[in-house]
Amino acid sequence: MNQGDPNRPNPDALLKTQERESAGGLKIFLGAAPGVGKTYQMLQAAHELKRQGVDVVVGVAETHGRADTLSLCEGLEQLSAKEVEYAGKQFREFDVDAALKRRPDVLLVDELAHRNIPGTRHPRRYQDIEELLDQGITVWTAVNIQHLESLSDVVASITGVRMRETVPDSVLERARDIVLVDLTPSELLERLRQGKVYVPEQARAAMDGYFSPSNLSALRELAVQAIAERLDSDVRETMQSRGIEGPWHIRSRMLVAVDGSGQGESLVRAARRLAERRKAPWTVATVDNGRAGADERQRLEKVFDLATRLGAEVRTLRGYDVAGEILAFAREQNVTTLILGRSHNRWWHFRKSTSRALLKDAEAFEVTFIPVPRKQRRRLTEAAGRPVRYSDYAWAVGSVGAATAIAMGLQNVLPLGNLSLIFLTSVLWVASRTGIRPALFAAALSFLTYNFFFTDPRLTFQMADTDELLTVVFFLIIAVTGGNLAGRLRDQVQMLRASNDLTDAHLQFTRRLASAPDITSVQTEAVEALYAQLKLPLIIAQRSPENDVIEVVVQGGPSHSLNEAARSAIDWGIRNAKPSGAFSDTLNSLPWRFEPIEADGEIYGVLGIRVGDMTPEYYRGLAINVYVHQLGLAWFRTRLAANLSASRVAEETERLRSALLSSISHDLRTPLSSMIGSASTLKSMFGRLSDEDRDSLLDSVLGEGERLDRYIRNLLDMTKLGHGTLKIERDWIAFTDILSSALRRTRNLMSKVRVERDVEESLPLLFVHPALIEQALVNVLENAAKFAPDDSTLSIRAQRKGDELIIAISDEGPGIPEDQRGQVFDMFFTGGEGDRGPHGSGLGLAICHGMVAAHGGRIQALAGPNGIGATIEIALPLIESPEQESNREASE
């Protein structure tokens, strides 16, 4: 409803402006056609920005081998591309992580519509850019008009070429600035002839096809229209956010005001012809004051359907002042032309028509009246008709009758003037209970009853006393005015309540979808939420990716099978991205209504609602399109998250595969080479070797074999941990027993260091898998020994802290950098010497982490004592043993 100061800033527009300004800024260089110089102009602007002291970095600049564009890249910092392997080939892609780490003031990322190689973080480059914008980085990019999603069909019909790489219109809407880069067809064709766009052979073919003068002119017009629409949107957003009252006559914009009268369809058709001649966007709007009848709502539904098919935006405004609501909306949307049907008032219509009211207050607008056939003329007024409900008038008669009875009983107690208040109360009660018309009827009936029964002479409609005449007349005026106001208030409260209920329902639906982690959950939550609200059978159907057959993926309410006609309607809706079934132009005899679920220019499936005998106006009042829109966005969000997760998994798998191959090539080859060398020496020179040399070579074979055995066991343990097949067979054991066994296994490695043990006495028994914890200690000790210099000290401390046993193993080696302490437990991570360096597999500490975590413990890397070396700290939970529990109970 139109309330308050019309110049008050629009909160939604303010919020939209604030959101756009809070994130990183996006500047798009929009080309009318390939070869017009988008990248060249973007790089020129970047150099100008750099001269002003701005930190500018080139993330991607597609020069296409053009010398002048290549020369502009010089002098600008450029990020290195990321090497990506796909189908056995190497590709260079934009490195998003490098850009996030560098965080320049302005980042240039060319080719907005580019499709990334599978396995990268995002499928499309515009999604890379959106991530950068969300992180507050300003991005400049470039794209041609033919890649805009909404224009792909138009471009295909003009040029005969359909673009595979498209960009959603929402990306263009997010841009702060759009720069149109254009050349006349003759200039662009000359560039083609000079070989500045394509090589000569390609240029000749292009001039005969895509780059024909007619095609280039059409593409230029599309680009100019896109810029004009964006500028128009910016102007309207600025006006709304600053509370500026329109219209500003910059671009023609039309508003057609309709009601439920028979002239609506004629108005819409005439407005469509006018909008086509003016090339102007147009909107069809009606004002719902809560008093329209079923017939009028049905006619409005047909008018809105027609307007939608003809390309108009349709809006339903709510309020009682029809003219005021239309004018407020027109000013907010910067409408320049109002289109109205001719309204014919008769002398008995006390209130002026909406057309006259609009004409009086719309001096800033161009107002066009459309003549319609006489038989269709009906009044477009504030008092839109309501069907007669005889029960309301029965309430009015009953209320006046009750007031008459009460007044009869009190006429000897109260003066005549006070008796009128009883009738006035009944009129107000009728107004609040039924509406304006029954209230006016009650006012008239009260006037007659009051005059007939309570003014002299009684039981006549004559009045002898002038004072009584004035009392009755003023009573009638007050009753009519009060009943009218009370009826209006009731209608407004009902509209507000219905609007709030609808808003709450949409909010709850959105919240449920927002909490859904995957596509299946989104579908289930959507159907459950809608069924709880509508109590109608629902389905979500989609085309199976395996066999291209329509399948129902989730149902709500009673199960219903779909016949062949329903499946045909679903298939048609998915292919054409339009509603089908009931209340549509396609198979409208079906009891189902199918709404396409769309987001980011793609149809995911349909939402089916079994409407049964529902009327079109009732269905429209459910605002199902809002639910479908939210469902599409949630579907897109979860699919994008799934693709992102799959990309990350593929990237991590590729990293682990490369690390594993590198590790195997080193950690298998090195000990095998040493063993082969020692064995070859023993075989060829056995008789000439001394006993000491033979023992040394055999020890070398044995040592390298043990090293190889440890590596293979580490791989097997890591595989078991990854697949969850590592069995934890717990038993009670003393920590000193585990430590002693681990030290015996590592005595050869420990021979070069001094081992200091500081183990707290009387430690409780551990309830662990002894072999696993021993292996974890062995891995940590081996790692520490490899780090530690010769003759240095390796300390082992163990003490109880609360309900945990803390084991700390420290060396005096080079230590672990603070930024790598969280990564040393990752598989195949190597960051220095020892097991984490060129001579290690990077598995030892990763296995420790898995084994300790399997026992409910934790492990972390810390700085060594006094900042020297490194400390690996293991915390294991302590559980009271049965013997300890028995002793405690005995002592109690």
CATH code for the domain of 230: 3.40.50.300
For residue 762, being part of any structural domain is answered with yes
SS3 category, 877:
strand
Long-range contacts of 102-105 (CB under 8 A, 24+ apart): 102/57, 103/135, 103/137, 104/55, 104/56, 104/57, 104/77, 104/137, 105/54, 105/55, 105/56, 105/138
C-alpha distances (whole Å) from 714 to each of 623, 738, 768 are 60, 19, 19
> HSE-up of 172 (CA within 13 Å, CB side)?
29
Domains in the chain, number: 6
Among 222, 242, 262, the domain-final residue is 242
Residue 876 · residue 773 · CB < 8 Å: yes
The angle formed by the CA atoms of residues 693, 699 and 702, to the nearest 5 degrees, is 145
Q: Say if CB 78 and CB 61 are below 8 A apart.
A: yes
| Phi, psi for 814 (deg, rounded to 5) | -70, -10
Helix (H) or strand (E) segment spanning residue 739 = helix 735-745
Query: What are the distances in angstroms from CA 809 to CA 411, 768, 795?
Result: 104, 19, 6
Whether 438 contacts 392, CB under 8 Å? yes
In a domain, 158, yes or no: yes
Are 20 and 122 in a shared domain? yes
Q: 589 and 692 share a domain?
A: no
In this structure, the number of other CB atoms found within 10 A of the CB of residue 546 comes to: 7
**Domain identity same for 573 and 696:** no
Q: Do residues 677 and 738 both lie within one domain? A: no
On whether the pTM is more than 0.75, the answer is: no
CB 502 within 8 A of CB 623: yes
Q: Distance between CA 472 and CA 423 in Å, rounded?
A: 11
Residue 691: CB atoms within 10 A of its CB come to 7
Read off the CATH number of the domain in which 811 is found.
3.30.565.10
Domain span holding position 748: 727-884
Q: Are residues 232 and 352 in the same domain?
A: no
DSSP 368: E
How far apart, in whole angstroms, are the C-alpha atoms of residue 640 and residue 602?
Answer: 13
Domain for residue 628, yes or no?
yes
Is there a single domain that holds both residue 628 and residue 609? yes
The letter for the amino acid at 159 is: T
Residues 432 and 358 in one domain: no
* Amino acid, res. 251: R
Q: Is 642 left (phi over 0), alpha (psi -120 to 50) or beta?
A: alpha
pLDDT at 596: 92
> Is residue 625, in this structure, part of any structural domain at all?
yes
DSSP per-residue codes, 587-605: STTSSEEEEEEEETTEEEE
Please check whether residue 597 lies inside any domain of the structure: yes
- Give yes or no: residues 58 and 158 share one domain: yes
pLDDT of residue 24: 66
List the CATH number of the domain containing 521: 3.30.450.40
User: Could you tell me if residue 411 is left (phi over 0), alpha (psi between -120 and 50 degrees) or otherwise beta?
Assistant: alpha
Confidence at residue 360, expressed as pLDDT on a 0 to 100 scale: 75
| Phi and psi at residue 583, to the nearest 5° | 65, 20
User: Left if phi > 0, otherwise alpha if psi is -120 to 50, otherwise beta: which for 581?
Assistant: left
pLDDT computed for residue 461 by the predictor: 65
Asked if 70 and 183 sit in the same domain, the reply is yes
Instruction: Look at residue 410 in the predicted model and tell me its pLDDT.
Output: 79
Q: Are 483 and 431 in contact (CB under 8 A)?
A: yes
Q: Give a yes or no: residue 372 inside a domain.
A: yes
- pLDDT at residue 822, rounded to an integer: 77
- Tell which residue, 120, 226, 217, 209, has the closest CA to residue 167: 226
- pLDDT per 10-residue tile (average), the chain, 892 residues: 49 50 76 87 92 93 82 90 81 90 93 86 88 91 89 81 84 88 85 68 61 82 81 66 60 84 82 86 84 69 82 83 85 84 49 67 80 52 50 78 80 72 75 71 76 71 60 62 66 69 76 84 89 88 82 86 89 88 85 88 87 78 83 85 71 58 58 81 80 82 77 64 63 91 83 89 87 84 86 92 92 85 72 45 72 86 88 89 58 54
Structure tokens at 141: 């990019």
Please give the pLDDT value at position 137.
92
CA-closest candidate to residue 399, choices 446, 337, 350:
446
* Pair 698, 825: CB distance under 8 Å: no
Pair (280, 181) in one structural domain = no
Write 620-625 long-range contacts (CB < 8 A, 24+): 620/301, 620/304, 622/534, 623/502, 623/506, 624/593, 624/595, 625/595
How far is the C-alpha of 98 from the C-alpha of 585, rounded, in Å?
Answer: 52
Whether the upstream peptide bond of residue 247 has omega within 30° of 0, thus cis, is yes
CB 396 within 8 A of CB 438: yes
In a domain, 385, yes or no: no
Residue with tokens 């973007």: 42
Q: Is residue 505 situated within a structural domain?
A: no
Together in a domain, 473 and 365: no
Same domain (yes/no): 839, 740: yes
